[in-house]
Amino acid sequence: MSSIQETLFDLLLNALLQILILAIIAAAFSRLVSKAGARHQYYFYLAALLFCLAVPVINTFWHFPSTVIAEKSQELVLAGAGGVNSSSWIWQRHSREPGQFAVPPRLQGWIIGIWGVFILFRLVRFSRAAYRVRGLRRGASALSPAQVSIARQILGTDCRIALFESAAIDDPVTVGVFHPAILLPDKVLPELGEQDLLAVLAHEYGHIRRKDFLVHVLCELISLPVAWHPGIGYLMSKISRTRELACDDYAAARLGQRRSYAKSLLRLASLCLHAPRQAAMTLGIFGGDNLEARIMRLTEKTATLSRIGVMGFVLATSITFGMGAVLMRAVSLQVSAQTSNPAERFAGTWRWMFDEKSFATMVLVRSATGFTGSVTGSRIALNQDGGLLRADPSEDAAPRPIAKASLEGALRLRVNDGFEFTVTLRDDTHAEIHPAGAPANMKPIPARKVR
């Protein structure tokens, strides 16, 4: 199993567990968060998302002393057991005997392969959405001068935001990062009064002022590798909903009448209700799928946190997530085959193989002076190409002690009877045996680690 595969598997395991715990912490704060302003709610869930993305990566690639402690405790166990289980992963903790759970390398490879296919699928989906956004803008037409004149009441006379109407959309949407544009559905536009149009434009202009489209695209990109996680889906949903709440607050403040804005929102929803929304990388006025909550928030008086309350909330969440980060380090997972000491990869019981059958057993045990252990005798015959023609255990089945061992990349061993050979690792469970003094064309003897 390659180190890259091990690292990716570590990352998946850490993401699975740690994102779940952090998302649960964020959900536990959701009731308190709902009492804050929409802008603060949005920043809270955005910060929680970034935290969820960063913690598993840090815990996988940045090894703190706790990792060293866990690895040292693992070495103590290995010294007593005489080997390392190459197909297990350990729960790192401040313990002398980390828990081990068997995960076959082939299964790890399958999981990583499925993960890669998922990422490719999400990239294709993202690319198609981006392409559709470009198509929406190219296929749209400019608003009439009268409608542009109304829009200037919200956007101002010097605003460089493009205004279009399009037959390819069902809701008003905002697109573009460097050259933003507001697109209105042509099937709904004739039914909108001046007040309704102002409400729509104020909401969409709120997205542009807040750079929501850019943040949305970046969040989609950086969360691609873990988009499969329910915790990420939960946080992305919360970000989408609070983003719409924040733009509602901006629009209502800009228009000066919350109830009037709420009525315009309901009227627009009734006009767009019959039309199914299509998938695209856009920010629509109904993007959060929380219209009822938005209307209630606009029409009912709700208690919100004071400035001191917000500061206390920020302090409480910072402490909680900081403690969560420490907890995440305690439950960090790591493939046990990837050890800090290369010599440990040789330790264990190896079977010398011929035709998928074992004909000799080699036991290697780490010691203070290097390696001890034994090798059982065998008889081999070579064909003209240097490959094994026959390989059988010798009549004397007694293990022969290893007299000398030296590690210089490969492990060089000498048995008491004078037989010398070199062990070269192919990966953590497969090796090649090269007998000293063998014919020049002799092919290496394959060996397989069994424990």
pTM listed for this prediction: 0.66
Whole-angstrom distance, CA of residue 126 vs CA of residue 128: 5
Q: For the CA atoms of 412, 414, 418, 424, what is the dihedral angle to 10 degrees?
A: -40
Q: Report CA 237 to chain centroid distance, whole Å.
A: 17
Whole-angstrom distance, CA of residue 164 vs CA of residue 282: 14
Q: Is the pLDDT of residue 295 over 90?
A: no
Residue 272, number of CB atoms within 10 A of its CB = 20
DSSP state, 104?
Answer: -
For the chain, domain boundaries: 3-119+310-335, 128-218+239-291, 342-449
Whose tokens are 């000066």? That residue is 256
Whose tokens are 């544009």? That residue is 181
Contact between 411 and 423 under an 8 Å Cβ cutoff? The reply is yes
Residue 172, number of CB atoms within 10 A of its CB = 27
Whole-angstrom distance, CA of residue 84 vs CA of residue 81: 8
Whole-angstrom distance, CA of residue 291 vs CA of residue 298: 11
Give the residue from 192, 225, 237 showing the smallest Cα distance to 41.
237
- Mean pLDDT (the chain, rounded): 81
| Phi, psi values for residue 171, rounded to 5° | -125, 155
Q: What is the pLDDT of residues 259-292, one digit of tens each?
A: 999 998 888 888 776 554 554 566 767 776 778 8
Fold for the domain defined by 342-449: Lipocalin (2.40.128)
Q: Is the pLDDT of residue 73 over 50?
A: no
Contact between 380 and 391 under an 8 Å Cβ cutoff? The reply is yes
Whole-angstrom distance, CA of residue 434 vs CA of residue 442: 8
pLDDT at 132: 87
Stated as kind and residue range, the H or E segment containing 445 is strand 445-449
Q: Is the pLDDT of residue 123 over 70?
A: yes
Does 104 or 60 have the greater pLDDT score? 60
Whole-angstrom distance, CA of residue 125 vs CA of residue 9: 24
pLDDT at 102: 53
Q: What is the pLDDT of residues 323-362, one digit of tens each?
A: 877 777 766 666 554 444 667 788 889 998 888 888 889 8
Whole-angstrom distance, CA of residue 81 vs CA of residue 310: 55
Percent of the chain with pLDDT over 70: 83
